[in-house]
Amino acid sequence: MNWIVFGLISWIFLGLELGLRDVLQLGPTPIAPSFMFVLVAFIAVSATPSASVWAAIVLGLLVDLTNATPYREAAGAITIVGPHALGYLLAAQLILAARAMMIRRHPISLAILTALGAAVAHIVVVFLLSMRLVLGEPIAVEASAQIGQRLLSSLYTGGLAALLSIVLFPLSGALGLHSVQARRFGRRD
């Protein structure tokens, strides 16, 4: 994978994630799609397993570092490193396992894998944030209330993935991702 092009696309997608999220929210609910996860899923669908998991970790870290989780009833917020990185990593592993059963370069395949992966990533994030709550960190996280909204966000992210596939599939070459046909008779990762 071409990591320089990956860095550039990640930067743009991080901008999309931070800048357009509220515009795409469903009414007054916090249900919104994740551009960053669409990129994670696209790379997991198209790239080698090792590149996919490291890309997932990098993108997850970027999301972790640009988020601040507020404290409950008190001023201040904390940057928690890890929940999204681990969530995206597990989601990438799921997509890597499932991609063999799908037609990879198809928008519907990408949408389904993205929705499934995003759901897994959200569950991991909620689990890890809840762990912090259990361990006594007073962060403002309501796992029970968020899980439904996060699962709906996953479906929304899947829909967005189908739309973005129009842009992402042509970028495969620039990203240095192997096509399925080329890999079929080539070296296995």
Partner 1 sequence: MSRSPSQPLHHPRLLLAAVLVLVLLAVVPGRWTAWAGWFGRPVAVLAAPPATLFRLLGSWLAPPKPPALRNDERALLEEHRKAAETQYLQLLEENDRLKAQIKVLQRGLELNPDLPVKQLTARVVATASDLASGLLRIRAGESQGVTAGSVVTADGLQLVGRVDSVAGPLAFVRPITHKASPEVTVRVMTGDFFQGTGAESLIALLKPQGDGSLKGEVGTDAGAALGGASAPRLEPKPGQTVRLADRTWPGAAQMLIVGTVTRVDPSPTQPLRKVITVEPTLRLDRVSEVVLRLTDESMPIIPAAPTGGAR
Residues near partner 1 (CB under 8 A): 1, 11-12, 14-25, 28-30, 32, 34, 36, 50-51, 53-54, 57, 62-73, 75-86, 89, 125, 128-129, 131-132, 135-137, 139-142, 145-146, 149-150, 153, 189
∠ CA 25-128-51 to the nearest 5 degrees? 80
| Structural contact between residues 84 and 63, judged by C-beta atoms closer than 8 angstroms | yes
Residue among 54 and 169 whose Cβ is closer to partner 1: 54
E-only strand ranges, 39-144 = 69-70, 77-78
Shortest CA distance to 127 belongs to which of 82, 97, 93? 82
If DSSP codes are grouped into helix, strand and coil, which group holds residue 71?
strand
If residue 180 lies in a helix (H) or strand (E), which one and from where to where?
Answer: helix 180-184
As measured in angstroms, the least distance from the Cβ of 115 to partner 1 is: 16
Residue among 29 and 179 whose Cβ is closer to partner 1: 29
As measured in angstroms, the least distance from the Cβ of 114 to partner 1 is: 16
Residue among 67 and 106 whose Cβ is closer to partner 1: 67
As measured in angstroms, the least distance from the Cβ of 95 to partner 1 is: 16
Question: Which amino acid is present at 38?
Answer: V
